[in-house]
Amino acid sequence: MMSYVFFTGSCLLSLVLGMVIIPKILLISYKKRLFDMPDDRKVHQTPIPRLGGISFFPVILISSCFVLGVRFYTGYPMDNMPVNEFLFFTVGGMMLFLIGVADDLIGVSYRYKFLVQIIAALMIVWPGEWFNSLGGLFGIWELPKAIGVLLSLFVVVYITNAINLIDGIDGLASGLSCIALFVLGVICVVTGDEVYALLTFSTFGVIVPFWFYNVFGNARRGHKLFMGDTGSLILGYIISLLVIHLSRVGTCDEAAAHSNMVLAFSTLIVPLFDVVRVVLHRLREKKNPFLPDKNHFHHKLLRTGMRPRLVMVTILFVALFFVVLDWLLLDVVGITWLLVIDIVCWTLLQLGINKAIQRHRLKVAQKTL
């Protein structure tokens, strides 16, 4: 029972700290004119501060460490405290935090960001957080350590960049992260991973006030801001750690680990599948796959004539659809067939959007005649 009190306390502490710090970030951003300027690729039309993510990692660490300290002080210590994992995670997170701040302020080459992401990924894998099973995906169960480590490094970088790339309209990256964190937090509570649950709900708490400022803030009154790379990189990093941890056989029994892996990845289907689609499109067009364009999921929905906020809500419902679908089919079909079903649903969705874009273009062309 007391564990739930501490989880709630960490979430509320992060929420309150976020509400206190975010207005200060806005004030500094406007005084120093630290804005994200509009351009042809971006949706917003006015300069908006993009340093909201600076609040994330410090608040997460303060809330998590404070609540952990209170637990020990009041006589509720945690069994099997993952000290090494937490320390190395903090090192990796700080590296991404610093490179994110530098990118938001002066810009950083994607090569340097990619290098830092790999080193940060090593900070997760080194203390032992790596995939040791695929749960029967494509008939593969147990993984050799070398392959598991390499796969884990790839997944950390993949998820971190996926959250970063989906951050294209108000409330999207933070909304998708909230869905993922809530589901992952519930799984951590059920499996008894109290430290990871604490980290999850601390992260969830700081995103909530940011989401309201990002979605409902009035840019003309100076009440709106973006998370920037500082925020999106940290969110992707934390979520990737949780996904890998919950997918490990040994963290819980084998059957539970495989179920957790499916549910964990189901929360990320939209950003992960969108990255694959966009990269394939860029390669097909003979473009650099690392350079930005306007072909992401939210860009396509905008081209159907939908308003940005409706696009955000639509994508969040799509993400929830995949979570519910995978949860319902988890015990009905194997993990490989479940992946096939997800890919088929995603493909049909993209084909439907393509047709909607064509209809919208035809309608616009008819109005101009």
Among the listed ranges 65-79, 174-188, 243-257, which one has the minimum average pLDDT value? 243-257
Mean pLDDT of the chain: 89
Which pLDDT score, from 0 to 100, does residue 39 have?
61
pLDDT(45) > 70:
no
Highest mean pLDDT among 80-84, 292-296, 305-309: 305-309
Contacts of 173 (CB under 8 A, 6+ apart): 163, 164, 166, 167, 227, 231, 232, 235
Confidence of residue 288 (pLDDT cuts 50, 70, 90): confident
Confidence of residue 357 (pLDDT cuts 50, 70, 90): very high
Instruction: Look at residue 250 and tell me whether its pLDDT is greater than 70.
Output: no
pLDDT in the model for residue 256: 75
- Return the higher-pLDDT residue of 259 and 319: 319
Which segment of 303-307, 312-316, 363-367 scores lowest on mean pLDDT? 363-367
pLDDT recorded at residue 252: 62
pLDDT, residue 40, reads 60
Share of residues in the chain with pLDDT > 90 (%): 59
Please tell me the pTM assigned to this model: 0.93
State residue 110's pLDDT score: 83
Tell me: pLDDT of 61 over 60.
Answer: yes
Kindly give, in sequence order, each residue whose CB lies less than 8 Å from that of residue 104, ignoring residues fewer than 6 positions away: 34, 50, 51, 53, 228, 229, 230
What does the alpha-carbon distance between residue 114 and residue 278 come to, in Å, rounded to a whole number? 18
Long-range Cβ contact pairs of 332-336 (< 8 A, separation 24 or more): 334/136, 335/134, 335/135, 335/136, 335/137, 335/258, 335/261, 335/262, 336/136, 336/137, 336/138, 336/139
In the chain the first and final C-alpha atoms are separated, in Å, by 67
Which DSSP helix (H) or strand (E) runs through 342? helix 335-368
Q: 42 falls in which pLDDT band (50, 70, 90)?
A: low
Number of H helices and number of E strands within the chain?
13, 4
Confidence band, pLDDT 50/70/90 cuts, at residue 30: confident
CB-based burial of residue 205 (10 Å sphere; 0-12 exposed, 13-18 middle, 19+ buried)? buried
> 222 falls in which pLDDT band (50, 70, 90)?
confident
- Please work out, in degrees rounded to the nearest 5, the angle formed at the alpha carbon of residue 158 by the alpha carbons of 155 and 159: 85
**pLDDT at position 25 over 80:** yes
- The pLDDT value recorded for residue 43 is 60
Residue 44 has pLDDT above 60, yes or no: no
Q: pLDDT confidence of 36, banded at 50, 70, 90?
A: low
Determine what percent of the chain is predicted with pLDDT higher than 70: 94
Q: Quick one: DSSP state of residue 142?
A: E
Residue 38 has pLDDT above 70, yes or no: no
In 10 A of CB 229, how many CB atoms?
23
Average pLDDT (105-109) is 87
